[in-house]
Chains A and B, each alone.
Chain A
């Protein structure tokens, strides 16, 4: 065999460079092949495609027609949105446009609404500072978000005479502003409380562990409504009768405690994911418990749980809608109040109101979810190294 090769190379032509790669046949690339691979690869798949196309054909155009093409965009009252010549128009966006300020501010005094806008701007700055990983001085951002912003918001929204801001009772707060305040307080309060509870649950001291487990399992075992009812009706009973607690504050306490129990379990999962060597290494360095947690354990544990923490925040944000059941005037309650107003009584008013609420909630939640996903990708890239 060897001799043959040698003799062949001496006489015949042998290609020195590899042949050029031919493009794949036309039946394997291009849009047609994609369609065949993804939609019509087998009889069952063809059937699925037909069914799915039918479902899409039924639902998507009618959605778009209702929300955009047949919608009423301008008008002063119900006349714009009632049926004309027996044809009911689509979404009554005129209603949302007219009531937009009510949805955002509730009954907040009109001449004071700039304060709410200021709160939104300050909040947006804080959120951007925290979320943008390359932002300068994120340590100051942390202090701003966790300390400065809550205190400033309290005075800006509630008012204080020594600042020259007219006091506004929380009973007049309403709409999206209340939803954001409650969600913000829940977000700011639940993380530190949740971390403490998670550490307590993993503590070696039996009494601390017992109380943490009791609290976490109790809160996670009951629905949020019962917690809110409890905060609403039982909290005043438990306090001396010369102390009255604001209704909004009661709900905040309920939501904050509820969210922190869920947060505790998320943080605990992160703590458990850390290899034991990290604890042992920290101890070998002679660090005390709190130093070890602050410098070694928590930075790593929280980093891997960021996606889950954000998911808990999404749940918290959606849960703020339950406030309407205990009589807090949140965003959903503003929609509920406006949609039954006789001035806008039209067949599509309710659906339009709910569609608008859904879009707003979706934007917030989907934004958070996308951030969580991006973080997850970033973290998995770091792990792959």
Chain B
């Protein structure tokens, strides 16, 4: 285990290596320790594997991944890809994975927005704003996420009125303890016109933005990017929408005595999980943002003021680009935490990967080793992939530095 070079005993000797017993020679001892560790770990793995095979045969549990194509036989409430009770376990896996990615993706977007707002508020010179943000961060960070999830689900969303007493909101929205019911958009025949115009408008907007920036770098003249952008991205698709004869209608939910027909249902499990994740993670992101902004030295702000920039542009052009470099690595780990924490869905019954696959499928098949290995592999893949993407982004940001 030693990293010290072999001591030269006797001192006066030349190139001749002193004679040392092998347990005193760090190099040989290192090999010995490594071989020992290798043998111990290897033995543990071997013993665990043989025991597992032994136990599985005794309990008559099948091994291998054949269960993947067997009929699942259970229903899943929220599904974004087609799934029936007769679908396979493999299909159930994909439904769960998509649900996990959905809640993690939306959660990351909202948590980032809320977190940045709170983080900046935490640095505000306004006493009230500052203290409110601090209160939020302290309370949220010092209570377990699971407790917050259970609170949102059991104490808030389950306490909403029954279906027949649904809260009717303008525009055909209904809120009750089975979730939020919204009008479902029904796209007409020519709706693709609008989509294509929107895509073309977005591309034109980016091209114009590039051109405008080049022009400003060359001549110093600014162009009305925002106005042109609004026209391209909003006005043009709107024109196409009316030109195509308004090919959009809504399937408005219909409130019955015991049920609501039609419309889109947003499940309370999803809302509870999303709220819990967003509110919890935002508190951590706020601290990351605060640390990042504080890491930019005060001289930068003062220099920007000395150049005549007002506080807004100072923040946009000087402070935030430098703070981002400090913010991004810990922000990535917060995104990963949010994704991993979405596995707490199992506590509120949201059908995510863990609830569907490691819960129901594991219980039905009993194939613990395979199911847990697959689930862990998925999370490991997500973690590694996110790290890779963020490292790439980080290196790009870091390149700007001289």
Interface residues of A (CB under 8 A from B): 37-39, 41, 45, 48-49, 52-53, 55-56, 203-208, 211, 218, 220-226, 229-230, 233-234, 236-241, 283, 286, 288-290, 314, 318-319, 321-322, 324-325, 332, 336, 339, 347, 350-351, 354, 357-358, 361-362, 365-366, 369
3 tightest Cβ-Cβ pairs between the two chains A and B = A365-B142, A238-B48, A207-B34
Interface residues of B (CB under 8 A from A): 1-4, 7, 30, 33-35, 37-38, 41, 47-48, 51-52, 54-56, 58, 124-129, 132, 138-139, 141-147, 150-151, 154-155, 159, 340-341, 343-344, 346-347, 354, 358, 362, 368-369, 372, 375-376, 379-380, 383-384
Please state if A225 and B138 are interface contacts (CB–CB under 8 Å).
no
Q: A18 to chain B: closest CB distance in Å?
A: 31
Q: A147 to chain B: closest CB distance in Å?
A: 24
Please state if B147 and A358 are interface contacts (CB–CB under 8 Å).
yes
Check A41/B51 contact, CB under 8 A, given A225-B354, A361-B147. no
Please state if B343 and A286 are interface contacts (CB–CB under 8 Å).
no
Q: A40 to chain B: closest CB distance in Å?
A: 9
Residues of B near A325 (CB, < 8 A) are 146, 344, 346-347
Residues of B near A236 (CB, < 8 A) are 55
Residues of A near B146 (CB, < 8 A) are 321-322, 324-325, 332
Residues of A near B35 (CB, < 8 A) are 207
Please state if A230 and B128 are interface contacts (CB–CB under 8 Å).
no
Q: Please, how many angstroms separate the alpha-carbon atoms of A225 and B352 in the complex?
A: 13
Give 12 A-B pairs besides A229-B362, A351-B155 with Cβ atoms closer than 8 angstroms. Answer: A211-B41, A221-B379, A222-B379, A226-B358, A226-B376, A237-B52, A238-B51, A354-B154, A358-B139, A361-B142, A362-B139, A365-B142
Please state if B125 and A41 are interface contacts (CB–CB under 8 Å).
yes
Residues of B near A288 (CB, < 8 A) are 2, 4
Please state if A229 and B358 are interface contacts (CB–CB under 8 Å).
yes
Q: Please, how many angstroms separate the alpha-carbon atoms of A230 and B368 in the complex?
A: 8
Contact of A45 among B52, B126, B143, B375 (CB under 8 A): B126
Q: Please, how many angstroms separate the alpha-carbon atoms of A324 and B47 in the complex?
A: 30
Please state if B33 and A354 are interface contacts (CB–CB under 8 Å).
no
Q: Please, how many angstroms separate the alpha-carbon atoms of A37 and B128 in the complex?
A: 12
Check A55/B346 contact, CB under 8 A, given A206-B34, A321-B144, A361-B147. no
Please state if A361 and B380 are interface contacts (CB–CB under 8 Å).
no
Check A39/B127 contact, CB under 8 A, given A208-B33, A354-B147. yes
Please state if B379 and A233 are interface contacts (CB–CB under 8 Å).
no
Query: How many A-B contacts are there with CB distance less than 8 Å?
Result: 167
Please state if A286 and B58 are interface contacts (CB–CB under 8 Å).
no
Contact of B37 among A45, A211, A224 (CB under 8 A): A211
| Pairs A–B under 8 Å by Cβ, sample size 26 | A38-B127, A39-B126, A45-B125, A48-B129, A53-B128, A207-B38, A223-B343, A226-B375, A229-B362, A230-B372, A233-B368, A233-B372, A234-B52, A237-B52, A237-B368, A237-B369, A238-B48, A241-B58, A283-B4, A289-B3, A324-B146, A354-B150, A354-B155, A358-B139, A362-B142, A365-B142
Residues of B near A369 (CB, < 8 A) are 138, 141-142
Chain A residue nearest in CB terms to B48: A238
Please state if B142 and A222 are interface contacts (CB–CB under 8 Å).
no
Residues of B near A362 (CB, < 8 A) are 139, 142-143
Q: A45 to chain B: closest CB distance in Å?
A: 6
Q: Please, how many angstroms separate the alpha-carbon atoms of A351 and B148 in the complex?
A: 11
Residues of A near B150 (CB, < 8 A) are 332, 336, 354
Please state if B144 and A332 are interface contacts (CB–CB under 8 Å).
yes
Q: A32 to chain B: closest CB distance in Å?
A: 14
Q: A359 to chain B: closest CB distance in Å?
A: 9
Please state if A221 and B383 are interface contacts (CB–CB under 8 Å).
yes
Q: Please, how many angstroms separate the alpha-carbon atoms of A236 and B343 in the complex?
A: 23
Q: Please, how many angstroms separate the alpha-carbon atoms of A312 and B112 in the complex?
A: 23
Q: B142 to chain A: closest CB distance in Å?
A: 4
Q: B310 to chain A: closest CB distance in Å?
A: 11
Please state if A233 and B54 are interface contacts (CB–CB under 8 Å).
no
Residues of B near A45 (CB, < 8 A) are 125-126
Check A289/B4 contact, CB under 8 A, given A211-B37, A237-B369, A322-B344. yes
Residues of B near A37 (CB, < 8 A) are 125
Please state if B34 and A208 are interface contacts (CB–CB under 8 Å).
yes
Chain A residue nearest in CB terms to B44: A238
Please state if A230 and B7 are interface contacts (CB–CB under 8 Å).
no
Q: Please, how many angstroms separate the alpha-carbon atoms of A45 and B311 in the complex?
A: 13
Check A223/B340 contact, CB under 8 A, given A321-B147, A361-B142. yes
Q: Please, how many angstroms separate the alpha-carbon atoms of A223 and B377 in the complex?
A: 11
Please state if B372 and A226 are interface contacts (CB–CB under 8 Å).
yes
Q: Please, how many angstroms separate the alpha-carbon atoms of A47 and B55 in the complex?
A: 68
Residues of A near B380 (CB, < 8 A) are 218, 221-222
Find the residue from A238, A290, A339, A369 having the highest chain B CB count within 10 A: A238
Please state if B34 and A205 are interface contacts (CB–CB under 8 Å).
yes
Residues of B near A239 (CB, < 8 A) are 51
Please state if B132 and A55 are interface contacts (CB–CB under 8 Å).
yes
Q: Please, how many angstroms separate the alpha-carbon atoms of A289 and B384 in the complex?
A: 33
Please state if A225 and B368 are interface contacts (CB–CB under 8 Å).
no
Q: Please, how many angstroms separate the alpha-carbon atoms of A100 and B2 in the complex?
A: 54
Contact of B54 among A223, A241, A350, A366 (CB under 8 A): A241
Residues of B near A203 (CB, < 8 A) are 1, 3
Residues of A near B369 (CB, < 8 A) are 234, 237
Q: Please, how many angstroms separate the alpha-carbon atoms of A37 and B155 in the complex?
A: 41
Please state if B159 and A229 are interface contacts (CB–CB under 8 Å).
no
Please state if B51 and A49 are interface contacts (CB–CB under 8 Å).
no
Residues of A near B30 (CB, < 8 A) are 204-205
Q: Please, how many angstroms separate the alpha-carbon atoms of A60 and B358 in the complex?
A: 41
Contact of B341 among A204, A223, A339, A347 (CB under 8 A): A223
Please state if A350 and B368 are interface contacts (CB–CB under 8 Å).
no
Residues of B near A234 (CB, < 8 A) are 52, 368-369, 372
